[in-house]
Each structure stands twice: as C-alpha cells, then as structure tokens.
C-alpha cells in the first residue's frame, strides 16, 4: 500500500515537473523557435504554476479556490491549444469554426463556473477535451489533403497535435466520470491524467527540439525553354 502511494506521489510529481521539459527546450531555443510554439510554452508554464499551486498551497480546505484554479486552467489550456491549432490550419472555414466554438466554450465555462455550486470542473474539461480532439482531427484532415514532399512527423506541429490528442483522449473518460465516483476514491484515478500529462509534455519536448514549422510543398515543375 505504501509503495503504491509512493508510486502515485512520484507519478504526480513527475507530471507536475514534466512541464519543465518543454519550457527548458523553449528557453534554450528562445530566439529560434517559431511563434506558434510560444502558445505551447505559455501553456506549459501555466500548467506548472497551476499544478504547483494545487499541490503546495494546501487548498483542500478551500474547495472553491481549487475549483477556480482548475476552471481557469481548463480555459487557459483550451485557449492555448485552440490558438495553436488555429494558426496551424490554413482553411478559413476551419479557422472560423474554431473561433466561433471558442467564443461559445469560453462563455460557457465562465457561466458554468459561476452557476455550478458543486465545485466540479468535469463538464467544461470534458467539453474542452472533445473540442480539442475535433480540432486535432481538423488539422489531420487538412494535412491529408495538402500535397507535400516531407513526412508529417518531421514537423513540430505534428508532435504538438499528437501530444494534445493523446493527453485529451486519454483523460476524456476520466473527466467524464470522475465526479460520478466518491470523492475519496476519485483521486485514485488521477494517475491516468498524470501518465498522459507526462506523455504530452514529452511529445511537446520533441516538438520544441524539432522546431520545424511546416511541411515542404512539392517543387513546382520547371518550365523549360524549347526555343
């Protein structure tokens, strides 16, 4: 039992400090990284601050503050992820779709925060996960339809999107059902989120290291002079 708790605590600490990996890579390549990755760097920094405050500020006695931090984290996470995907897409319709959905989601999250008395952030987190998963599908759809000469995994965008997809699809069912569990048991399942969070940050780190913006387009065919 003790070993399991230790393992759980280690996983939680690893998850918290895994945010440092992409942040360090970002700081290392500060001037060279493309602008879109700044959104991810901001997300990682915020994620670290949020996790640290939840861990070390002993907010268990203040569930409302805890709820506020988690809701704010959901909004920041959604905003940074959707901003990154927004700038990674070239289709105007898909971009408009993201913009419109984002306005709706952020408004909903704020209203939900003030109206919800249970201090549960599960619904907005679940909706956030679903929306970002759909946005990731937008990105892949666009990549499939774009003629290219380089493999998709040679770009940082691919690793960022895969990171988001793994993290949010892995945590989706946890967010959906966590409030249905008794509160003393719910934290037992948080290890799922921790595992995917670590995976997410490792994939983000790969993206920061690659730092290649877009896929290379096929060369235009040369015009020869036959005169």
Partner 1 sequence: MFLLQANTQNGIPQVIFFGTIGMLTLAVGLIVFIIFHQRKVIRYQGTLQRMEQDQQRMLLNASIRLQEEERQRLAADLHDDAGPLLATARLYLNENLVNMDKVSQLQSIYNAKQIIDDTIQLIRNISHSLMPPTLKNFGLESAVNDLFQKISGSGSLNASCRFHDYKERLKTEDELILFRVLQELVNNILKHSNASFIHVTQNINGDRFFLRLHHDGRGLTQSDFEKLNKSPVGLGLKNIQSRLKLLSGNIYFEKDVSQTYYKVTIELSKEEIS
User: For partner 1, what does the binding mask look like between residues 161 and 180, x meaning CB under 8 A?
Assistant: -x--xx--xxxxxx-xxx-x
| Residue of 189, 184, 187, 162 lying closest to 174 (CA atoms) | 189
Rg (the chain; Cα; Å): 20
CA dist., res. 6 & res. 185, Å (int): 17
How many residues touch partner 1 under the rule CB under 8 A: the total is 42
Comparing CB distances to partner 1, the nearer of 45 and 120 is: 120
Residue 192 sits in the site that holds partner 1 (CB under 8 A): yes
CB of 10 to partner 1, least distance (A): 14
Of 148, 202, 209, 213, the residue at the interface with partner 1 (CB under 8 A) is 148
The least CB distance from residue 175 to partner 1, in Å, is 10
Q: Are 80 and 49 in contact (CB under 8 A)?
A: no
Query: Does residue number 183 form part of the binding site for partner 1 (CB under 8 A)?
Result: no
Q: How far is CA 149 from CA 23, 89, 95, 174, 208, in A?
A: 31, 18, 24, 39, 22
Backbone region of residue 217 per phi and psi (left: phi > 0; alpha: psi in -120 to 50; beta: other values): beta
Contacts for 54-57 with beta carbons within 8 Å, 24 or more apart? Answer: 55/12, 55/16
Sites for partner 1 among residues 52-111 (CB under 8 A): none
Interaction residues for partner 1, span 202-221 (CB under 8 A): 218-219, 221
**Which residue, chain included where needed, has tokens 């959707």?**
82
Contact with partner 1 (CB under 8 A) among 34, 101, 102, 143 = 143
Q: Check residue 191 for interaction with partner 1 (CB under 8 A).
A: yes
Contact set with partner 1 (CB under 8 A): 4, 8, 137, 140, 143-144, 147-153, 162, 165-166, 169-174, 176-178, 180-182, 185, 188-189, 191-192, 218-219, 221-227
């Amino acid at each position: 039992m003790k070993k399991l708790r230790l393992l759980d605590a280690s996983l939680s600490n690893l998850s918290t400090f895994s945010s440092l990996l992409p942040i360090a890579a970002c700081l290392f390549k500060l001037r060279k990284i493309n602008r879109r990755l700044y959104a991810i760097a901001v997300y990682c920094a915020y994620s670290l601050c949020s996790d640290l405050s939840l861990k070390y500020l002993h907010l268990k006695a203040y569930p409302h503050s805890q709820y506020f931090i988690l809701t704010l984290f959901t909004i920041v996470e959604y905003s940074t992820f959707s901003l990154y995907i927004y700038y990674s897409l070239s289709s105007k319709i898909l971009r408009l779709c993201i913009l419109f959905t984002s306005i709706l989601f952020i408004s909903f999250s704020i209203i939900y925060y003030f109206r919800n008395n249970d201090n549960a952030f599960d619904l907005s987190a679940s909706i956030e996960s679903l929306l970002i998963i759909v946005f990731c599908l937008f990105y892949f759809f666009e990549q499939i339809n774009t003629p290219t000469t380089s493999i998709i995994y040679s770009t940082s965008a691919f690793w960022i999107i895969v990171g988001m997809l793994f993290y949010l699809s892995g945590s989706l069912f946890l967010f959906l059902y966590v409030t249905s569990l008794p509160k003393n048991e719910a934290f037992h399942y948080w290890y799922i989120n921790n595992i995917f969070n670590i995976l997410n940050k490792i994939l983000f780190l790969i993206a920061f290291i690659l730092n290649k913006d877009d896929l290379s387009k096929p060369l235009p065919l040369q015009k020869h002079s036959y005169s």
